[in-house]
Structure 1
């Protein structure tokens, strides 16, 4: 019999979990991609606000499923209850092959970029530094959960420092660049639809993490009251922070300097604080990136391990193996690292993050629709919390997700097809494993 989770999390604990999960490295580095799509300060800030609103609707919708199905596995379990085993397997498969390795690869590339920039090294060192970062984080995780969790806790505090410093100093410093917030329009030679769709996709990497906010539902004292409050307050605060940080970047550097420049955060910090202060902020950003890298590694290796426990993967016997001393799933960790290293060789930061966002929002649509399916199919299901303003809020989530998916298919067709193709490769794997089980 499974032990029931203790209901110990209060509103403040839930609020800090929401913010700690969502705030990562994207806020510092996705501005370059957003601006390259919009070529406009007004549309850039609008995309960050819209991404936040969409994320809030998504979080509120998923919270209904999280409180009704408070089981380990989170999103995988919601999809299994609504649609069956195959779709839930495909989510776990996509997370194992695309989502977590792509996150690790992208964050490692960012770490390498910032490291090279901070110490004024040749760009030839970028990839080796990125590889060392990924290997070192995997090594820490092989020392067990306690070590990885300690690193996570330390970097969680540190990563908020550069954000606070940039916002507070940036807002009260005279800007180098003047711009108007209205009218909201794309830059020259950029269509509004293409600019907004590309920018929105880019912001959603920075907001990534919302899908896990409902996972704490089973441990909350009053999920029906505190979970929606934590989501609304937490994600609203994150949206405000992201918008303010980008406002500071835009008033510190011209659009043409930010566009496509992954060192824009460091350069804006140098403008605000001078070269010495800029380096200290960049060091804080580096630690923040390393913490985010550790978080995705820590979570990621447990997905194939959990699937292997149910014999759902080829070579499940190997994926189940844990080290005797540290009880870490080392085979899953090594395979995840290898996939991430291959991705580093093949893709840039933006390509990798766009692919993982696209694939995850494919499943997000299924999760949003699941709220409607389960309300009709299982009206008597106990729902400690129901999404507010139903059906408006879930419909906003669905509409936003479909916009992202359709825009990606139209503007980045190859990327979308690769994401869909790798996900669908899981179908024959699933049926093969079912056959070997019987």
Structure 2
């Protein structure tokens, strides 16, 4: 532990749970609608889920080399600074602090509030109240220490997999659609090129969040050995779960029915479990979203803290303070909580998330390319893990990232433009504070 004290107490199981718990959230329950609407056919939809998993695993395998070689608190902030300089690192941290983490917490909190109000028979006026309460509760739990937040993540991840596996097992065993509903691959009304592209982008929302485990590398017991295992192992399990549950969906309902409902998991559960199906899936969604909010809270508060200890943000002295008892960056967590609550009241969560997905994938792709940059700039850097099948796997990750960025740029130019503007607002702040930056070694953070 450094002299200011981030405790190294997170092991492989907790890191693995953070990857799985952050990725598996609302997407597994809601994204099949968007995927099968875009694909128009069950086969093409399943292909999109597979390709999304392949791109994500390739990205995980690639980013794991950088993560293990640079096991510093801040995750991508540290990777980009090492490869490209502090400007790109700063812009990423700015976007993550102002939008990415708080907007995700807010959107997920609203989903939690919506599902909880429905389960308890409450009016819609309770949605915002419940959303704020769950965001505050998880902030308080994570303020008790990294070990507490990691424990919540581990328990919620195990619990959230139970309803998923129930749907998979019972759906495959009792669904009367059989393999007939896995075909055709495509339909004439949905050209394969554009349809597959839109469906693939939809799956990437469901796969998002895995890279954030790198933000807790500074608090892991053995990051060089455990971080790559957590990323690759976690993503492999996520891909298997996503593919199996979508096959189970198709065994029960045709793709057209899944595309027509906003809650495909609940619709399937109502058929295979009877009248209690909706309640069972709602509880599963609540547990899943709860764990995902915890994952974003656990990792998110480390981002402004990592920047503040180097005096990169306004009010850095306050943001860099650790709780004397738990040695957790509580003040940075308060900042993200306040922004999250404002987003909950704004009602524009989906738009904020859509904007940032475009921006964050720019930085993801830069992280993948950093493998090439660092191997050239620092050939002697200790790498406890090296990406397999180099350079094929990194190239797959980079091409996948470029496709997502360019697809959004051409299909949603307004959203892409706004996302870039919001991120680039951080540039004048960076220039005004650059002379005040203080370099701090990671073991002193």
Distance verdict in 2 for CA 1:74–1:138, change over 3 Å = closer
Separation in structure 2 between the aligned mates of residue 329 and residue 340 of structure 1, nearest angstrom: 17
Residue correspondence of structure 1 range 91-106 to structure 2 within 5 A:
91-106=92-107
- Post-superposition Cα deviations, 1:221-244, rounded to whole Å, max 9, x if no partner, equal 983xx7666655542332111011
How big is the shift at 1:156? 2.1
2:442 is aligned to none
Distance verdict in 2 for CA 1:248–1:123, change over 3 Å = farther
Separation in structure 1 between the aligned mates of residue 123 and residue 223 of structure 2, nearest angstrom: 53
2:335 is aligned to 335
Q: Structure 1: give runs of 5+ residues left out of the alignment.
A: none
How big is the shift at 1:257? 4.2
2:360 is aligned to 360
How big is the shift at 1:216? 5.2
Residue correspondence of structure 1 range 20-419 to structure 2 within 5 A:
20-145=21-146, 147-175=148-176, 179-185=180-186, 188=189, 190-212=190-212, 219-220=221-222, 223=225, 231-259=231-259, 261-321=261-321, 329-346=329-346, 350-419=350-419
Query: Which stretch shifts more, 303-312 or 113-122?
Result: 113-122
1:105 touches 1:352 (CA, 8 Å); kept in 2? no
Separation in structure 2 between the aligned mates of residue 343 and residue 95 of structure 1, nearest angstrom: 14
1:103 touches 1:356 (CA, 8 Å); kept in 2? no
How big is the shift at 1:62? 1.0
Separation in structure 2 between the aligned mates of residue 95 and residue 42 of structure 1, nearest angstrom: 36
Q: Structure 2: give runs of 5+ residues left out of the alignment.
A: 439-445
1:204 touches 1:357 (CA, 8 Å); kept in 2? no
1:202 touches 1:354 (CA, 8 Å); kept in 2? no
Separation in structure 1 between the aligned mates of residue 205 and residue 304 of structure 2, nearest angstrom: 22
Distance verdict in 2 for CA 1:259–1:90, change over 3 Å = same
Distance verdict in 2 for CA 1:380–1:221, change over 3 Å = closer
Separation in structure 2 between the aligned mates of residue 154 and residue 405 of structure 1, nearest angstrom: 35
Separation in structure 1 between the aligned mates of residue 115 and residue 319 of structure 2, nearest angstrom: 34
Distance verdict in 2 for CA 1:102–1:201, change over 3 Å = farther
Distance verdict in 2 for CA 1:227–1:115, change over 3 Å = closer
1:22 touches 1:209 (CA, 8 Å); kept in 2? yes
2:181 touches 2:250 (CA, 8 Å); kept in 1? no
Distance verdict in 2 for CA 1:202–1:187, change over 3 Å = farther
Separation in structure 2 between the aligned mates of residue 129 and residue 158 of structure 1, nearest angstrom: 21
2:177 touches 2:251 (CA, 8 Å); kept in 1? yes
Distance verdict in 2 for CA 1:71–1:137, change over 3 Å = closer
Separation in structure 1 between the aligned mates of residue 350 and residue 195 of structure 2, nearest angstrom: 15
1:40 touches 1:187 (CA, 8 Å); kept in 2? no
Distance verdict in 2 for CA 1:437–1:258, change over 3 Å = same
How big is the shift at 1:159? 1.0
Separation in structure 2 between the aligned mates of residue 184 and residue 73 of structure 1, nearest angstrom: 42
1:108 touches 1:133 (CA, 8 Å); kept in 2? yes
How big is the shift at 1:25? 3.2
Separation in structure 2 between the aligned mates of residue 294 and residue 212 of structure 1, nearest angstrom: 12
How big is the shift at 1:47? 1.2
Corresponding residue pairs, total: 434
Query: Which stretch shifts more, 333-342 or 42-51?
Result: 333-342
How big is the shift at 1:262? 4.0
Separation in structure 2 between the aligned mates of residue 260 and residue 110 of structure 1, nearest angstrom: 19
1:144 touches 1:326 (CA, 8 Å); kept in 2? yes
Distance verdict in 2 for CA 1:338–1:20, change over 3 Å = closer
Q: Alignment partner of 1:314: what SS?
A: coil
How big is the shift at 1:77? 1.2
Separation in structure 2 between the aligned mates of residue 210 and residue 102 of structure 1, nearest angstrom: 16
Distance verdict in 2 for CA 1:295–1:20, change over 3 Å = closer
1:110 touches 1:349 (CA, 8 Å); kept in 2? no
Separation in structure 2 between the aligned mates of residue 401 and residue 102 of structure 1, nearest angstrom: 22
How big is the shift at 1:85? 0.9
Distance verdict in 2 for CA 1:197–1:132, change over 3 Å = farther
How big is the shift at 1:146? 5.1
- Post-superposition Cα deviations, 1:284-324, rounded to whole Å, max 9, x if no partner, equal 32122112112211221221122112111012133234556
How big is the shift at 1:147? 4.5
Separation in structure 2 between the aligned mates of residue 375 and residue 315 of structure 1, nearest angstrom: 36
Separation in structure 1 between the aligned mates of residue 57 and residue 353 of structure 2, nearest angstrom: 20
